[in-house]
């Protein structure tokens, strides 16, 4: 004998609405996140896997995931094939100074655009933004000639100094953020006797930490991973950066993938550490810009 127990319609709808739909929603969200995580993790895992293979295993077809034997010596081999210690130091110097320059100068300019009224402000801001539309490749030769006359070739200066004159993307991002800070705070500070610089340093900057952090993270990633700039402006091995050092493992006919990936895995450590330490700023930057972080 079977007993059919039919729930009242309203109860069933309530059950679906309160229990099933939220559950399905959570499952769907996790499924999407899982797919996203796998997509992000896949290249990283492949890098690590390849970095532990022999040269022959790298060529195996179909490719294998698990190295056998595990070639730990790829790491010391790769890192001693070129003076990567020096490359790391060089890259760190360039990146740290670039971040300082970019954040400091962009914040000052953005503050000017956000808080001061002066003739031509709109036009000037438009001009700053329009520089985003100039393809970088168009600037390579003019900038190279400029830096040649300044005597900066084969020094870190071309990779660092321009950052002390702000970046259009950073200025835009910071200006938009500064505009969200109520003017009442500025006025209250003025009533307490603060001047514009004090308002900037003591009111605006502390409140804009998420945006400043986002700019810093973007600049860090951009400088650390920059290949074309060091390629063009640096010519001495002692001045090379990590990205140029990595390129030594590949040429038109052959890439030593096992060594390349080992060195690349080590090169990823700094950006990964920065990302994990500053991920809330990075995410807020994505939210602020509505983009995936493309600096343009």
Partner 1 sequence: MLGNRKTLLTALVMVIFLSMSLGAAAQDAGVTIKWFMRWDQNRVENVAMPVAQAFTDATGIGVEFENIGSGSDYYTKLQTTVAGGTPPDVFYPATHVANAYASKGALLTINEFVERDGIDLSVYDSTILANYMIDGELHCLPIDNAALVVYYNKEIFDAAGVDYPVDGWTWDDFVETATALTLDTDGDGVTDQFGVDTFRNYWPMVVWTNTDRGLFDDVRHPTEFYGMDQGVIDSVQFVADLILEHNVMPSDEQRADISDLFAAGKSAMQVVGHWRMQRYLGSGFDFDMAALPLGESGEAVNRADGSCYAISADSEHPDEAWELVKFLAGPGSLGVNMLLDLQVMTPVLSEFKSDPRFLDPELLPGSNKEAFLAGEGNYFSMYDPIHPMYSAFDSLWKQELGEVWIGAATAEEAMMRIDEEVSYILENIEDYE
Where do contacts with partner 1 occur on this chain (CB under 8 A)? Answer: 55-56, 59-63, 81, 90, 93, 97, 100-101, 140-141, 144-145, 148, 151-157, 160-161, 164, 195, 197-198, 227-228, 231-232, 234-239, 247-255, 257
DSSP class of residue 268 equals T
Based on CB atoms, which residue is closest to partner 1, 106 or 284? 106
Nearer to partner 1 by Cβ, of 48 and 247: the residue is: 247
Least separation in angstroms between CB 277 and partner 1: 23
Say whether 46 sits in a helix, a strand or coil.
helix
Q: What is the distance between the alpha carbons of residues 118 and 195, in angstroms, rounded to a whole number?
A: 17
Six-digit token pair at 124? 């000037």
Query: Considering the complex, what minimum distance in angstroms separates the CB of residue 46 from partner 1?
Result: 11
Nearer to partner 1, 194 or 270 (CB): 194
CB atoms within 10 A of CB 205: 18
Report the nearest approach of partner 1 to the CB of residue 254 (Å).
6
CA distance 208 to 206: 5
Radius of gyration of the chain (CA): 26
Short-list 176, 169, 164, 177, CA closest to 131: 169
Q: How far is the CB of 122 from partner 1 (least distance, A)?
A: 28
Least Å from the CB of residue 5 to partner 1: 51
Q: Which is nearer to partner 1, 54 or 176 (CB)?
A: 54
Task: Tell me whether residue 259 or residue 288 sits nearer to partner 1 (CB atom).
Answer: 259
Q: Read off the tokens for 271.
A: 């950006």
């Amino acid at each position: 004998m079977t007993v059919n127990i039919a729930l009242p319609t309203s109860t069933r709808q309530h059950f679906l609405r309160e229990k099933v739909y939220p559950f399905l929603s959570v499952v769907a969200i996790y499924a999407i996140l899982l797919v996203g995580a796998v997509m992000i993790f896949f290249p990283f895992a492949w890098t690590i896997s390849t970095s532990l293979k022999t040269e022959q295993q790298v060529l195996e077809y179909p490719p294998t995931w698990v190295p056998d034997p595990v070639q730990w010596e790829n790491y010391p081999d790769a890192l001693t094939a070129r003076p990567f210690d020096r490359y790391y130091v060089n890259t760190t110097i360039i990146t740290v100074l670039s971040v300082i320059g970019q954040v400091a100068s962009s914040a000052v300019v953005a503050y000017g655009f956000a808080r001061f009224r002066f003739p031509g402000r709109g036009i000037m801001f438009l001009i700053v933004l329009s520089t985003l539309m100039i393809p970088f490749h168009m600037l390579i030769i003019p900038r190279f000639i400029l830096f040649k006359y300044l005597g900066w070739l084969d020094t870190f200066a071309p990779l660092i100094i321009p950052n002390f004159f702000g970046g259009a993307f950073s200025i835009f991002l910071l200006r938009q953020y500064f505009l969200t800070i109520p003017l009442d705070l500025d006025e209250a500070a003025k009533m307490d006797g603060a001047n514009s610089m004090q308002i900037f340093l003591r009111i605006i900057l502390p409140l804009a930490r998420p945006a400043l952090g986002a700019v810093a993270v973007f600049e860090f990633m951009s400088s650390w991973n920059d290949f074309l700039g060091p390629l063009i402006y640096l010519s001495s091995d002692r001045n090379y950066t990590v990205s140029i050092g990595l390129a030594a493992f590949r040429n038109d006919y052959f890439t030593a993938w096992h060594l390349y990936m080992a060195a690349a895995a080590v090169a990823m450590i700094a950006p990964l550490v920065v990302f994990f330490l500053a991920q809330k700023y990075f995410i807020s930057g994505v939210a602020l810009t509505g983009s995936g972080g493309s600096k343009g």
